[in-house]
Amino acid sequence: MTQDISFKDKVVIITGAGGGLGKQYALRFAERGAKVVVNDLGGSLSGSGNSTKAADVVVEEIKSKGGTAVSNYDNVVTNAEGILKTAVDNFGTVHVLINNAGILKDASFKKMTEKQFTDVLDVHLNGSFRLTKACWPYFKKQNYGRIIMTASPAGLYGNFGQANYSAAKLALVGFGETLAKEGYKNNIKVNAIAPLAKSRMTETIMPPDILERLLPQKISPLVLFLTSDQCPTTGSIYEVAAGLFAQIRWERSGGLYLRPDNTLTPEAILNRFKDISDFTKPGVQHPVQLNDYNQVWTVTSKLPSNDQGNTKIDSLKGK
């Protein structure tokens, strides 16, 4: 029998929840009983200006349906503590943090200014850092926390004109992977999503028929699942778009072993480069931590100490 996913008595902070994906999350969490802090600066796509309206409209909609929510208008970059304070003052603590607020300042790398680069890193990466840092002691003390880092396909694969955004988005993956390890024993689960959805971020760059398949309602089920009591995973990355939910993982090829004799040269790599990039040969791995090097130790320990390059290393792989 499937269990219902409930957020009754859970306090959820969602940054950038005045529109787009964040608004969808806020409505869906509230429907399932959460007490929601709807944070939004209410600025433009590039982060300029501010308004209380964006957050207030979402809070009013939640309340009109009988839910519980409170607005917060702080900037995640300059007053993350203020966002946490709204949660603590109104609801006593925080259980779930959705790092979602974001801006775009796209430009080809040649034209990108340092300010465009650092402004985007500030909101996505430093904003997520500051609010997560503020919430962390609460998560540890209550032995419970759920965090979503909002990455992007642009971070995983790169995207023309988005060097700043890509850098910030992949940084959030590494940030989350480490917090997943540090939070494990305190039941703090941290996962990253790389969504694609219709919002003001995408509506000018994608054709209308595609956008209609990318409704933000199709992202929220995964976010609720990953932040539920039942969430079975941490430190994972998921791509989510148009109803597709798929995990992304790291893959290391079986690789090329060179010995500390005259085969350990750049020319040896030139000659056998295709072996380094071959994901079909034995020894392919999906590492999840820094010391996932068993394959390396296994193979090299089987080489005779006086090996002169005669042992066939490929025959030792996968053993």
Catalytic residues: 165, 169
| 12 beta partners | 36, 96
Asked if 204 and 159 count as a contact pair (C-beta separation under 8 A), the reply is no
Q: How far is CA 77 from the centre of its chain?
A: 18
| Residue range at the interface with ligand NAI (CB under 6 A); choices 111-119, 174-182, 191-199, 287-295 | 191-199
Q: How far is the CB of 217 from ligand NAI (least distance, A)?
A: 12
Smallest distance, Å, CB 301 to ligand NAI? Answer: 44
| CB of 135 closer than 8 Å to CB of 99 | no
In the complex with ligand NAI, which residue's Cβ is closer, 152 or 220? 152
Q: Which stretch binds ligand NAI (CB under 6 A): 132-140, 196-204, 272-280, 302-310?
A: 196-204
Q: Is there binding between residue 298 and ligand NAI (CB under 6 A)?
A: no
Binder of ligand NAI out of 37, 76, 226, 240 (CB under 6 A): 76
Contact track, ligand NAI, 33-72, x by CB under 6 A: ------xxxxx-x-x------x------------------
Give dist(CA 11, CA 129) in Å, integer. 19
How many whole angstroms separate alpha carbon 41 and alpha carbon 44? 9
For the CA atoms of 209, 215, 219, 224, the dihedral, rounded to the nearest 10 degrees, stands at: -160
Q: How many CA within 13 A on the CB side of residue 103?
A: 25
Q: How far is the CB of 16 from ligand NAI (least distance, A)?
A: 2
199 Cβ contact partners less than 8 Å away, ≥ 6 residues apart: 19, 20, 21, 216
176 binding ligand NAI? (CB under 6 A): no
Q: How many residues bind ligand NAI (CB under 6 A)?
A: 33
Closest to ligand NAI by CB, 43 or 255: 43
Torsion sign, CA atoms 275, 278, 284, 290: positive
Contact with ligand NAI (CB under 6 A): which of 19, 183, 255, 283? 19
Instruction: Select 54 or 173, whichever has its Cβ closest to ligand NAI.
Output: 54
Residue 195 within binding range of ligand NAI, rule CB under 6 A: yes
For residue 293, the tally of other CB atoms under 10 A from its CB is 13
- The answer to whether 220 and 193 are in contact (CB under 8 A) is no
CB of 249 to ligand NAI, least distance (A): 19
Helices (H), 184-259: 208-211, 220-226
Kindly state the smallest distance separating residue 180's Cβ from ligand NAI, in Å. 19
Among 10, 25, 30, 100, indicate the residue that binds ligand NAI (CB under 6 A): 100
Locate 72 and state its tokens: 């917060």
Rank residues 44 and 308 by Cβ distance to ligand NAI and give the closer one.
Answer: 44
**Closest to 237 (Cα-Cα) out of 157, 279, 188, 174:** 174
Q: Contact residues for ligand NAI (CB under 6 A)?
A: 15-16, 18-22, 39-43, 45, 47, 54, 75-77, 100-103, 123, 127, 150, 152, 195-197, 199-202
